[in-house]
Amino acid sequence: MSLRLAAAGFDVVGFDVSTDAREHAAGLGLATVVALGQAGRAAGVVILMLPSSNEVEGVLSEPSLLQELQPGTVVVDMSSSQPWRTRNLAASLEARGIRMLDAPVSGGVAGAESGKLTIMVGGTASDLALARPYLDKLGRVVHAGPIGCGHAVKALNNLLSATHLWATSEAMLAGQRFGIEAEVMLSIFNASSGRSGSTDNKWPNFILSGTFDSGFGLALMVKDMSIAVELADQVGAPSALGSSALALWHRAAQDLPVSADHTEVARWLEREVSTHGH
């Protein structure tokens, strides 16, 4: 994403707590700094891409950064954060004259590299107008609503994505055990009403291939599912299936390494069936 912004002619300065990440970025020709506060110096737009609300709040409470952010600066949180915490954070920044948008993405590593991410934005139309020249270089921008709505819809999207993947994996394993070739099933599903991102992308590209390297971690998927289920509970919406799916994913997460890709659940399910018969 940083490379795409730099290639578009923007003056990009990057910071990461990881020395390896900074060195990698510098090796690609990007300007980097060794202290967080330096990244905000004279910045009109500050983009965050972090694991969760905890890290986002940590960054945006860092005095060295806050003293560098001028009134009118736009902070864009492209992480998958908790929408209610995002709203509270936006209010505290607004008191300093700093604008905020939440703009999580879907599309994975491939979408980031190609500039074809789906970017779900929460915030005011006027703040979005300020950030749009940057976001347009990263993908397709959809204004989801007021602040927090981007994070809310991203979590709900990932709840759907995770539920699709689990259901698809169960169906694929059942069909294979009955004697149907995996490729045949996928070709039928993808031409029928069972089609999803799991049947046309995840199963053929990351599961059947045996690579399990979609670029999105299982732990992050579980985190986003948890946000979506908690959101449903908060607003009084039904969440029976979502809660059940989350419980199943928690089981897989407990067995798999912390670094596991989320597509590993298909292999985990196959082992479960072979070991326990259910």
Considering its fold, how many domains does the chain have in total? 2
User: What is the model's pLDDT at position 8?
Assistant: 96
Say if residue 14's pLDDT is above 70: yes
| Domain edge (last residue) among 120, 146, 172 | 146
| Domain edge (last residue) among 146, 173, 198 | 146
User: What is the model's pLDDT at position 278?
Assistant: 56
User: What is the model's pLDDT at position 65?
Assistant: 95
* Phi, psi angles (nearest 5°) of residue 48: -110, 135
Do 161 and 261 belong together in one domain? yes
Do 180 and 76 belong together in one domain? no
Do 208 and 248 belong together in one domain? yes
Segments forming the whole domain that contains residue 176? 152-276
Cα gap 165→83, rounded to integer Å: 24
User: What is the model's pLDDT at position 275?
Assistant: 78
Say if residue 277's pLDDT is above 90: no
What's the pTM? 0.92
Do 120 and 181 belong together in one domain? no
Instruction: Give catalytic status of residue 154 as yes or no.
Output: yes
| Domain edge (last residue) among 88, 115, 146 | 146
Structural domain includes residue 26: no
Catalytic residue among 137, 154, 202, 223: 154
Cα gap 131→66, rounded to integer Å: 19
* Secondary structure of residue 116 in the 3-state scheme: coil
Helix 240-255 and helix 149-178, axial crossing angle in degrees, nearest 10: 70
